[in-house]
Amino acid sequence: MATTDHYLNRELSWLEFNQRVLDEARNPAVPLLQRLKFLAITASNLDEFFMVRVGGLHGLASRGVAQLDPVGLSSSDQLEKISQRARRMLQDQYTCWNQELEPELAKVGIQCLRNDQLSDVQLQSVVGRVEEELLPVLTPMAVSDEADFPLLSNHTLHLCVRCAPEAGSDEARYAIIPFLGPLRRFLSLPAETGSAFVLLEEAIAMTVARFFPGETVNECVAFRIVRNADLSLRDEGLYDLLAGVEEVLDARKQSATVRLEIADSSSDGLLRFLQHRLGTTDRETYRIAGPLDLAALMQLSNLSGFDDLQYPQWSPQPSSQIDPSRSMFEILQANDVLLYHPYESFEPVLRLLDEAADDPDVLAIKQTLYRTSRHSPVVSALKRAAESGKNVTALVEVKARFDEARNIEWAKQLEQSRVQVIYGVKGLKTHAKMCLIVRREAQGIRRYVHLGTGNYNESTARLYSDVSYMTCQDNVAADATACFNAISGYSQPQELNSLEMAPIGLREKLLEMIEIETQRKLAGERAHIVAKLNSLVDTRMIDALYAASQAGVTVKLNIRGICCLRPGISGLSENIEVISIVDRYLEHARVFYFFHGGDERVFISSADWMPRNLDRRIELLVPIEHPSSKHRLIRILDTYFRDNVKARRLQPNGTYEAVSAGSQLGPVRSQEVLYQEACELAAAREFRPTVFEPHRATGSE
């Protein structure tokens, strides 16, 4: 790990996070198919890391930008260190697959067979499927010179075929077979028991002569590339934003190759041919001792009939705060509601939108959309509301990386339903999670607000830990209105009463809260900070935490991913503890706690402590003042720091070590504790005695 006295390198810290995910794949205590899923996730994560972070560094290096990171490394220095660390990670990934998971899967009847392991019946099945299903679909492309080299798709598997030279020539002839379209990576095979599969590339390799009749095939090797996806859109002054985004999507299809993966069986000649045509060097080339693209293993991780190899099902629980017999509007009029997903169901959020869409007293709905599901009920509710005559505004962030195409399609559909669509804000990404509902009631206009740490995506709400907060408090609703007005028009952002918004005041508010703790400690008072984040990169925030530690403030940080802060250094950060938890759910919530002289302050936020979130995005910081909601979040934060099963503690040098259980404690797995608490709360509500309340005539006693 590259370090200075003060900071850890951002990119290497991310790779250590991915290693912690890989550790779960190698953990025998984790169910087998869940381990397979973790391995697939690490491969998918690594692809995105190369597309974005390595791609960006390649761009800086190629332009000769002499920019050093906070550790003092140039772009080229970082690329070299990333290459070294990524190779060790790939070695661990393939050790995990070749020596651990694949043999364990075979023991339970899930076999991934190679060509020389097929029975006659299985071989006949493969040949038949190639003839019937693959030969008509796949299209080999001959490559005779550089001008003929095809445009290869990003992170798609290809075969490179080397044929014998033509008569009178010494030059080998090459062809590329791309695996495009909806092809399954694992072909099922007949098996007496269990399930048997063969990799698609192995099936093609054993029958490749059928694709090249009359030719002598000397070599057939699988490879794939990862392209630079860090292509930013300069949207200031752009006349047509959608056209600009679509141009970026097209540019990604032919951007520079930042990683070449190739089967280690490849000859040097074939490898040099591909490197030359793709413009890659040995630093960008990774020889793979096993199946390429381990992310494809996700296809096997949900095999039916193997429930005992998965985690036991944890169904999202109904919230004890939600009475299903009452409307969401009635519930919020009585009390604020705080939900902690996925332990508690996301259904009340969807229900609020559904009720708003169908309620004739609702006048307007305003909504931000950053990432949504493929068949989004949120989008459906907004369309239905607009079609019924309500004033509906949706800010669809079409610059959300890797969701641009889907968001453009949603934006067009919403416009067709008469929704007023805003395509983000010039120069910024809108990452805030906010919904505002305006309703006409007997007492006048009332506004209802949902604010959260996660996206409006009911699918990821079952996989990510996030906070939802719903209220109709006037001060919060007024601020939400002001935020929407600021991002939907030319109006200057107004001073907010309760919320804070980046890039205007969010960073300053956080620094102020840290400084208050620091000054209280210097005055001899008790001071304490707890923060739960995905990433901590911003050096100003880190320096403020260092100053707090030096004053004696106890600082506890729960950071899932990147952490550039070095904890436990005498005279700098000895009062700072950093843990990371990787478990069945992705830790995604951002929650901050400040002791504040006993007047405890708790916030949720859409923003991590990174320069991009604090300076280049529209984000929200939301104070939680409702007493029971605030105290519940404090208990949740405390639960994570009691974890001695999945928690890993960051060391000063950037490595992580398992948290010791200690002599007095039994095993505490925080996600399991939080789920059990959600179950207990739901059960308490379910068995609450029923009270019959009669309707009485007006004036009766």
Residues with catalytic annotation?
A: 431
Computed on alpha carbons and rounded to an integer, the radius of gyration of the chain in Å comes to: 28
Count of C-beta atoms within a 10 Å radius of residue 613: 26
Give dist(CA 608, CA 582) in Å, integer.
17
Helix axis angle for 627-641 and 670-686, nearest 10°, is: 140
Please report the sign of the dihedral spanned by the C-alpha atoms of residue 497, residue 500, residue 502, residue 506. positive
Closest alpha carbon to 515 in 594, 570, 590:
594
Single out the residue of 70, 73, 72, 68 nearest to residue 84, CA to CA.
73
Match 């001073």 to its residue by tokens. 495
Residue indicated by tokens 């001899």? 524
What residues contact 12, with CB distance under 8 A and at least 6 apart? 1, 2, 81, 82, 85, 654
Q: At 532, which helix (H) or strand (E)?
A: strand 528-533
Q: What is the DSSP string of 20-36?
A: HHHHHHT-TTS-HHHHH
- Other beta carbons within 10 angstroms of residue 520's beta carbon come to 20
Short-list 522, 507, 518, CA closest to 548 = 518
Query: Do 588 and 614 form a contact (C-beta atoms < 8 A)?
Result: no
Distance CA 437, CA 212 (A): 63
Write b or e for each residue in 540-564: b if 16 or more Cβ atoms lie within 10 A of its Cβ, otherwise e. ebbebbbebbbbebbbbbbbbbbbb
Specify whether the CB–CB gap between 344 and 319 falls below 8 A. Answer: yes
Q: Are 176 and 152 in contact (CB under 8 A)?
A: yes
Other beta carbons less than 10 A from residue 363's beta carbon: 15
| Angle at alpha carbon of residue 165, lines to 162 and 168, rounded to 5° | 175
Q: List phi, psi (to 5°) of 493.
A: -55, 130
- Opening angle at CA 311, ends 305 and 316, nearest 5: 110
Contact 110, 194 (CB under 8 A): yes
CB-based contact 288:262 (threshold 8 Å): yes
The β-bridge relationship of strands 257-263 and 285-288 is parallel
d(CA 101, CA 87): 20
